[in-house]
């Protein structure tokens, strides 16, 4: 049984060529599924899903995807594991990696995730941390490509919080060669270190219209992420001018797409009219979580056998 010992904690862990390879493979897997052809490339392989935060899309995509590939996924809520009673991260990583072929982790602290990965002898996948959500970007980029062709040289507008998904968009701008304009309220722009990692194609403004003007894709996310629930009310005031509504969408390119990682709060960061409108591709984005995560699992678990 072949496997890599690579981790996927941020998009920068993979080369642009590797990322493009995963997206190409995701499109093949999607086509196979549309034709109802079975493709069990990971028989007998087992992954653990260690989740500290809620999830619908990410969890179901990994669980369903692993079954479709002929393997199995075990959902491990941190509330039920000994880690929830104080067993160290390092020991949990050592234990799980003696028993499963990869561990998918959704957690708060990115530093804790890195520590987990250092002590795991099997691949570790970031299923969302406070600072990155790389799996989301695999789906978002492939969704853009399916609808509009290459994303290289295109302009993406991010409206709202400089959060985990925004940070992964910054990395994606570098890996996939698109321009990213981020509009965030003062004090909510992405961390300067992550911005620096994005390179020259990434810019920041406080004015949503400066970001959206002529953009090919407009994206937003909740104003308060998981773990920031107590800030929800204050953020609703701070972010009230950072809503993706029809007026803002009208400043984008006429054929601009709209994305949101979901779950969405209609009437807050995005109007219902836009989220449910003709330019929105959020349901394709959702479906592509499945295909891209399957391609990611194949890449990490099959290693050099991946082409077979």
Find which of ligand CP, ligand NVA, none residue 222 binds, CB within 5 to 8 Å per kind.
ligand NVA
- The structure tokens listed for 253 are 């390119």
Please identify, using beta-carbon distances, which residue of 153 and 283 lies nearer to ligand CP: 283
Among 18-26, 51-59, 75-83, 85-93, the segment contacting ligand CP (CB under 6 A): 51-59
| Residue 58 binds ligand CP, judged by CB under 6 A | yes
| Cα dist from 82 to 76, 77, 246, whole Å | 11, 10, 48
Residue that has been written with the tokens 């804790």 in this structure: 112
Find which of ligand NVA, ligand CP, none residue 143 binds, CB within 5 to 8 Å per kind.
none
The whole-angstrom separation of Cα 45 and Cα 64 is: 14
| Residue 32 binds ligand NVA, judged by CB under 6 A | no
Residues 6+ apart with CB under 8 A from 173: 156, 179, 180, 198, 199, 201, 202
CA atoms within 13 Å, Cβ hemisphere of 298: 28
The nearest distance, CB 57 to ligand CP, in angstroms, is: 4
**Do residues 36 and 90 lie in contact, with contact meaning Cβ atoms separated by under 8 Å?**
no
DSSP characters over 234-292: HHHHHTTT--B-HHHHTTS-TT-EEEE-S---BTTTB-HHHHTSTTB-HHHHHHHHHHH
Exposure string for 184-194, b = 16+ CB within 10 A, e = fewer: bbeebbbeeeb
The nearest distance, CB 5 to ligand NVA, in angstroms, is: 27
Q: Which of 177, 256, 169, 287 is nearest to 221 (CA)?
A: 169
> Would you call 289 a catalytic residue per the annotation?
yes
Using the rule CB under 6 A, which residue among 9, 61, 165, 218 binds ligand NVA?
Answer: 165
> Which member of 25, 289, 291, 302 is catalytic?
289
Residue of minimal CB distance from ligand NVA?
Answer: 225
List residues bridging with 115 in a β-sheet: none
Using the rule CB under 6 A, which residue among 5, 15, 56, 233 binds ligand CP?
Answer: 56
> How buried is residue 153: exposed, middle or buried, by Cβ count under 10 Å (0-12/13-18/19+)?
exposed
| Residue 182 binds ligand NVA, judged by CB under 6 A | no
| Residue 163 binds ligand NVA, judged by CB under 6 A | yes
> Which member of 221, 235, 260, 291 is catalytic?
221
Count, residues near ligand NVA per rule CB under 6 A: 9
> Would you call 235 a catalytic residue per the annotation?
no
> Would you call 135 a catalytic residue per the annotation?
no
| Residue 154 binds ligand CP, judged by CB under 6 A | no
The whole-angstrom separation of Cα 13 and Cα 264 is: 28
The nearest distance, CB 129 to ligand CP, in angstroms, is: 12
The whole-angstrom separation of Cα 66 and Cα 296 is: 11
The nearest distance, CB 113 to ligand NVA, in angstroms, is: 14
Please identify, using beta-carbon distances, which residue of 57 and 181 lies nearer to ligand CP: 57
Please identify, using beta-carbon distances, which residue of 187 and 254 lies nearer to ligand NVA: 187
> Would you call 106 a catalytic residue per the annotation?
yes
> Would you call 291 a catalytic residue per the annotation?
no
Which residues are annotated as catalytic?
106, 133, 136, 221, 261, 289
Give contact residues for ligand NVA (rule: CB under 6 A). 128, 163-165, 221-222, 225-226, 261
């Amino acid at each position: 049984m072949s496997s890599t010992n690579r981790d996927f904690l941020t998009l920068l862990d993979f080369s642009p060529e590797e990322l493009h390879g995963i997206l190409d493979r995701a499109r093949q897997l999607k086509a196979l599924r549309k034709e109802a052809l079975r493709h069990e490339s990971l028989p007998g392989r087992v992954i653990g899903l260690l989740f500290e935060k809620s999830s619908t899309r990410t969890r179901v995509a990994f669980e369903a995807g692993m079954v479709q590939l002929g393997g199995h996924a075990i959902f491990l809520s941190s509330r039920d594991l000994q880690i929830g009673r104080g067993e160290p991260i390092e020991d949990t990583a050592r234990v799980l990696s003696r028993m499963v072929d990869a561990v998918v982790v959704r957690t708060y602290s990115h530093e804790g995730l890195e520590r987990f990965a250092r002590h795991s002898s099997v691949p570790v996948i970031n299923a969302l941390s406070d600072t990155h959500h790389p799996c989301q970007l695999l789906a978002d980029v492939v969704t853009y490509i399916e609808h509009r062709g290459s994303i290289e040289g295109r302009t993406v507008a991010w409206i709202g919080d400089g959060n985990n998904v925004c940070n992964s968009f910054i990395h994606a701008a570098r890996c996939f060669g698109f321009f990213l304009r981020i509009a965030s309220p003062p004090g909510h722009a992405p961390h300067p270190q992550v911005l620096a990692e994005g390179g020259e194609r990434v810019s920041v403004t406080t004015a949503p219209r400066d970001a959206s003007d002529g953009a090919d894709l407009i994206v937003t996310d909740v104003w308060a992420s998981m773990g920031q629930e107590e800030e929800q009310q204050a953020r609703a005031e701070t972010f009230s001018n950072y809503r993706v509504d029809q007026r803002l969408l009208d400043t984008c390119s006429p054929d601009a797409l709209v994305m949101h990682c979901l779950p969405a709060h209609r009437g807050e960061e995005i109007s219902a009219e836009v989220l449910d409108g003709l330019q929105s591709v959020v349901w394709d984005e959702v479906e592509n979580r499945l295909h891209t995560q399957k391609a990611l699992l194949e890449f990490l678990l099959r290693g050099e056998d991946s082409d077979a």
